Amino acid sequence: MTDTSQTPLVQLKDISISFGGIRAVDHVSLDLYPGEVVGLLGHNGAGKSTLIKILSGAYQKDGGEIWIEGQPAEINSPRDARDYNIETIYQTLALADNLDAASNLFLGRELTTAAGFVDDAKMESETAKIMARLNPNFRKLKEPVSALSGGQRQSVAIAKAVYFKAKILIMDEPTAALGVHETQMVADLIQELKKQGLGIFLISHDTREMLELCDRVSVMKNGKMIGTERVEDVTEDDILSMIIMGKKPDQAA
């Protein structure tokens, strides 16, 4: 499935970060290859979201290195991450509720006219195009996103990653707020993006869903990396025991 002889898209090497006296992420290493989905599992507070926010530029690491496509990378802000084609879909969706879909999609990267003004008409038509591809039922282009359903909001967030041709996609609980149909839509989309060669980090609490969607899963507990396994090598029970007991299946036995 995954060709590990390639250069990894992302290598997180020995990453640490502390908040106050708490080591939220404690010397964690993880890598991601093109066309691969890596799942991050663990209890609340295990450090998954924190680790991922270091990659997306929301937090600054205390120690360790980030390598992107075989080169050391400096990521100190969301803007830096974006320059490395890293897009993040946050658990909280990170949308400005008072703005419409197009304004959210292009937030921070507005299309402008020759005179330097924002080109709302162009952004609206671009949004209509990408939405027609991702979610054909999406029609509330003019309304603030607060008027949208969970799935529609999610498609705005995903459209952002697709439109700007992300190479590395981070999805933090992408299906947590969604219904069955919409969850399926996100799953299909992940498969499609994978085929296009994107690398995806996926965070979820749903172990079964992770085994379906991911190529490898990594389990974290109390800020430490317990282990990374190929999904075909482990059962759901193995994963659960890693999450709960913090031990690899062979050690647990």
Partner 1 sequence: MTDQTTQPPGTTKEPEGAIARFFRETELDTRLLGMLGALAIIWIGFHVYGQLVNGFGAFLTPRNLWNLSVQTASIGIMATGMVLVIITRHIDLSVGSMLGFCAIVMGVVQVNILPQFLGLGHPMIWIIAVIIGILCGSFIGAFHGALIAYGKIPAFIVTLGGLLVWRGAAFLVARGETISPVDPTFRLMGGGPYGAIGATGSWIVGILGCVAVLGLILMGRRKRTTFHIAQRPVWAETFLAIVGCGAVIGAVLLVNAYPWPRGIVRRYAEAEGITIPEGGLFISHGFAIPVLILVAVAIFMTILMSRTRFGRYVYAIGGNPEAAELAGINTRWMTVKIFALMGALTGLSAVVASARLGSATNALGTLDELYVIAAAVIGGTSLAGGVGTIYGAILGALVMQSLQTGMVLIGFDAAIQQVVVGSVLVLAVYLDILYRRRSK
Residues that bind partner 1 (CB under 8 A): 56, 58, 77-79, 82, 88, 90, 92-99, 103-104, 107-110, 112, 116-118, 121-122, 124-125, 139-140, 143, 147
User: Cβ of residue 140: shortest distance to partner 1, in angstroms?
Assistant: 5
CA separation for the pair 55, 180 (Å, rounded): 30
Q: Assess contact for 173 and 91: CB atoms under 8 A.
A: yes
Residue 217 burial class via C-beta count within 10 angstroms: exposed 0-12, middle 13-18, buried 19 and up: buried
Cβ closest to partner 1, residue 97 vs residue 212: 97
CA separation for the pair 100, 148 (Å, rounded): 10
Q: Assess contact for 198 and 171: CB atoms under 8 A.
A: no
Cβ closest to partner 1, residue 61 vs residue 82: 82
Give 113's DSSP letter: -
User: Cβ of residue 108: shortest distance to partner 1, in angstroms?
Assistant: 4
Cβ closest to partner 1, residue 88 vs residue 135: 88
Q: Assess contact for 144 and 168: CB atoms under 8 A.
A: no
User: Cβ of residue 13: shortest distance to partner 1, in angstroms?
Assistant: 24
CA separation for the pair 65, 108 (Å, rounded): 27
Cβ closest to partner 1, residue 58 vs residue 176: 58
Cβ closest to partner 1, residue 33 vs residue 163: 163
User: Cβ of residue 107: shortest distance to partner 1, in angstroms?
Assistant: 4
SS3 134: helix
User: Cβ of residue 73: shortest distance to partner 1, in angstroms?
Assistant: 16
Q: What is the largest CA-CA distance in the chain?
A: 68
